[in-house]
């Protein structure tokens, strides 16, 4: 049986597909970390707002403490906006990685289809040769001289 002539190309494409899978998984993990970080910052912001509300409920308002809380709320809001931009960039990277994986998968599937055709052709050729050999053996055994 003849070896598949594109076996090395198929191996390279399979390896590329595997790398694309890893890249997609890493991009998705990065996106998820950013989402978790955003949730933490939003929780932190809510805690600061609750503290600020608690300070305003007291009889003697500590203006310095309230000003610090407002300042920190503003800082956390800036962090949240930066994280949202990073999440958007991460989503774009995930989509690019997903697209690259789809392309790599299509490349592998095309070569695997060629491999299946090659195997089928080789099996057909082998069966045909076996039929010819058996036919010749039968004819030689049953030939009346």
Domain borders along the chain are 7-109
Decide: 1 and 126 in contact? Cβ < 8 Å.
Answer: yes
Each residue's pLDDT tens digit, 116-133? 999 999 999 999 999 998
Each residue's pLDDT tens digit, 5-53? 899 999 999 999 999 999 999 999 999 999 999 999 999 999 999 988 8
If you classify domain 7-109 with CATH, what class do you get?
A: mainly alpha
Higher pLDDT, 1 or 34: 34
> Tell me, what's the pLDDT at 144?
64
Each residue's pLDDT tens digit, 79-107? 999 999 999 999 999 999 999 999 999 99
């Amino acid at each position: 049986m003849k070896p598949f002539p594109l076996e090395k190309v198929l191996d390279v494409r399979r390896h590329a597909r595997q790398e694309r899978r890893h890249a997609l998984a890493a991009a998705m993990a990065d996106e998820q970390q950013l989402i978790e970080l955003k949730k933490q910052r939003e929780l932190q912001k809510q805690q600061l707002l609750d503290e600020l509300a608690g300070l305003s409920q007291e009889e003697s308002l500590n203006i310095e403490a309230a000003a610090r809380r407002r300042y920190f709320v503003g800082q956390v809001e800036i962090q949240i906006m930066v994280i949202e931009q990073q999440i958007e960039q991460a989503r774009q990277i995930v989509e690019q990685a997903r697209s690259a994986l789809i392309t790599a998968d299509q490349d592998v599937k095309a070569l695997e289809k060629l491999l299946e055709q090659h195997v089928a052709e080789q099996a057909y050729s082998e069966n045909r040769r076996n039929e010819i050999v058996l036919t010749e053996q039968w004819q030689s055994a049953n030939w009346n001289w």
